[in-house]
Amino acid sequence: MIELEGVPELIDPVMVAAFEGWNDAGDAASTAVAHLDREWKGEVFAALDAEDYYDFQVNRPTVWLDGGVRKITWPTTRLSVVRIGGEKPRDLVLVRGIEPSMRWRSFCNEILGFAHELGVEMVVVLGALLGDTPHTRPVPVSGVTSDPDLARTMDLEETRYEGPTGIVGILQEACTHAGVPAVSLWAAVPHYVSQPPNPKATLALLNRLEDLIGLRIPLGELPEDARAWQLGVDQLAAEDSEVAEYVQTLEEARDTAELPEASGEAIAREFERYLRRRDPGPGQSPGGHATDSGEGSYLRDPSSGRTRPPKPPRPESTGPGPLGGAGSGPVTGSGEGAGPAGGTGSSDASPDSSEDSPDDSSED
The larger pLDDT score, comparing residue 289 to residue 31, is at: 31
Who's near 299: CB < 8 A, 6+ residues apart? 232, 305, 306
- 303 phi and psi angles, rounded to 5 deg: -80, -5
Q: How far is CA 265 from CA 152, 260, 262, 270, in A?
A: 15, 10, 8, 9
pLDDT of residue 167 exceeding 80, the answer is yes
Who's near 361: CB < 8 A, 6+ residues apart? none
Q: Please give the pLDDT value at position 41.
A: 93
Query: Whole-model pTM above 0.95?
Result: no
Q: pLDDT by residue (tens digit) across 71-97?
A: 999 999 999 999 887 777 889 999 999
Who's near 288: CB < 8 A, 6+ residues apart? 35, 38, 39, 218, 220, 221
Q: Are 164 and 23 in contact (CB under 8 A)?
A: no
The larger pLDDT score, comparing residue 295 to residue 186, is at: 186
The region of weakest confidence among 139-143, 155-159, 316-320 is 316-320
Please give the mean pLDDT across all residues of the chain.
78
Q: pLDDT by residue (tens digit) across 38-55?
A: 999 998 999 999 999 999
Quote the CA–CA distance of 109 and 299 in Å, as a whole number.
Answer: 41
Nearest to 360 by CA among 72, 63, 17, 50: 72
- Provide the pLDDT confidence category of residue 257 given band limits of 50, 70 and 90: confident
Q: Are 106 and 303 in contact (CB under 8 A)?
A: no
Q: Please give the pLDDT value at position 75.
A: 92
- 85 phi and psi angles, rounded to 5 deg: -85, -160
pLDDT of residue 240 exceeding 50, the answer is yes
Checking DSSP bridges between strand 69-75 and strand 62-66, what pairing results, if any?
antiparallel
Quote the CA–CA distance of 308 and 133 in Å, as a whole number.
Answer: 18
pLDDT of residue 137 exceeding 80, the answer is yes
pLDDT of residue 36 exceeding 90, the answer is yes
Q: Please give the pLDDT value at position 266.
A: 55
The region of weakest confidence among 70-79, 118-127, 287-296, 327-336 is 287-296
Q: Please give the pLDDT value at position 76.
A: 93
Q: Give one DSSP letter per residue of 232-254, joined into a string.
A: HHHHHHHT-HHHHHHHHHHHHHH
Q: pLDDT by residue (tens digit) across 274-326?
A: 555 555 554 444 433 333 333 333 333 333 333 444 444 444 434 333 333 33
Q: Please give the pLDDT value at position 65.
A: 94
- Provide the pLDDT confidence category of residue 336 given band limits of 50, 70 and 90: low
Q: Could you tell me the sign of the dihedral formed by the alpha carbons of 285, 187, 42, 360, in that order?
A: negative
Q: Please give the pLDDT value at position 290.
A: 34
The larger pLDDT score, comparing residue 206 to residue 195, is at: 206
Q: How far is CA 71 from CA 2, 295, 317, 348, 361, in A?
A: 18, 21, 51, 15, 11
- Provide the pLDDT confidence category of residue 168 given band limits of 50, 70 and 90: very high
Q: Please give the pLDDT value at position 160.
A: 84
Q: Please give the pLDDT value at position 255.
A: 83
